[in-house]
Homo-oligomer: A and B are copies of this chain.
Amino acid sequence: MIKKFTFGTPTETEAVICREGIVEPGEKVPYFSVASSGGDQDKSHVLTYGMGEQDIVYGLGENIRGINKRGWLYESNCTDDPKHTESKHSLYAAHNFFLVDGTERFGVFVDAPQKTVFDVGYSDRDRLTVTVDEGGFVLYIVEGESLRHIVKEFRHAIGRSYIPPKWAMGYGQSRWGYKTAEEIRQVVKKHRDNQVPLDSVYMDIDYMERYKDFTVDEEKFPDFPGFVREMKDQKIHLVPIIDAGVKIEEGYDVYEEGVEKGYFCKKEDGREFVGGVWPGRVHFPDMLHEEARQWFGKKYKILIDQGIDGFWNDMNEPALFYGEDHLKEVFDQLKEYQTKELDIDTFFGMKALILGIANNPEDYKTFYHNYRGERIRHDKVHNLYGYYMTRAAGEEFEKMEPDKRLLLFSRASYIGMHRYGGIWMGDNCSWWSHILMNLQMLPGLNMCGFLYTGADLGGFGADTTEDLMLRWLGLGIFTPLMRNHSARGTRSQEFYRFGHLEDFRNIIGLRYGLLPYLYSEFVKSAMTDDMMFLPLAFVYPGDETAAVTEDQLMVGESMMIAPVYKQNARGRYVYLPEDMKLYRLRSTDSMDSQILTAGHHYVKAELNEVLIFLRPDHVVPFGKGGCNVEEAESSSLRLLHFVRTKAVYDWYHDDGFTRDVDLEKGITRITVEAHGTIASAGAGRCQWSLI
Contact = CB atoms under 8 A, between A and B. Distances in A.
A280 interface: yes
Interface string A526-556: 0000000000000000000100101000000
Contacts of A500: 125
B85 A568 contact: no
Interface residues of A, number: 67
A499 interface: yes
B322 A429 contact: no
A246 to B, nearest CB: 14
A467 interface: yes
A321 B347 contact: yes
A280 B85 contact: no
A140 interface: no
Contacts of A467: 71, 125
A286 to B, nearest CB: 23
A293 interface: no
A466 B120 CA distance: 12
A122 to B, nearest CB: 6
A681 interface: no
B280 A466 contact: no
A72 B465 contact: yes
A276 B343 CA distance: 7
Contact of A499 (B83, B125, B545): B125
A68 interface: yes
Contact of A280 (B341, B429, B567): B341
A476 to B, nearest CB: 18
Label chain A's interface by main secondary structure: loop
Interface string A120-135: 0110111000000000
Interface stretch (A251-259, A263-271, A430-438): A430-438
A223 to B, nearest CB: 26
A71 B465 contact: yes
Contacts of A573: 573, 600, 602
B344 A568 contact: no
12 contacts: A65-B567, A72-B567, A86-B429, A86-B433, A87-B431, A124-B499, A125-B467, A278-B344, A280-B341, A321-B342, A545-B602, A550-B568
Interface of A: 56, 65-66, 68, 70-72, 83, 85-87, 121-122, 124-126, 205, 211, 276, 278-281, 321-322, 327, 331, 334, 337-338, 341-344, 346-347, 351, 354, 429-433, 461-463, 465-468, 498-500, 545, 548, 550, 566-571, 573, 575, 600-602
Given A548-B568, A550-B569, 8 more contacts: A71-B467, A71-B568, A87-B462, A211-B343, A548-B569, A548-B570, A548-B571, A573-B573
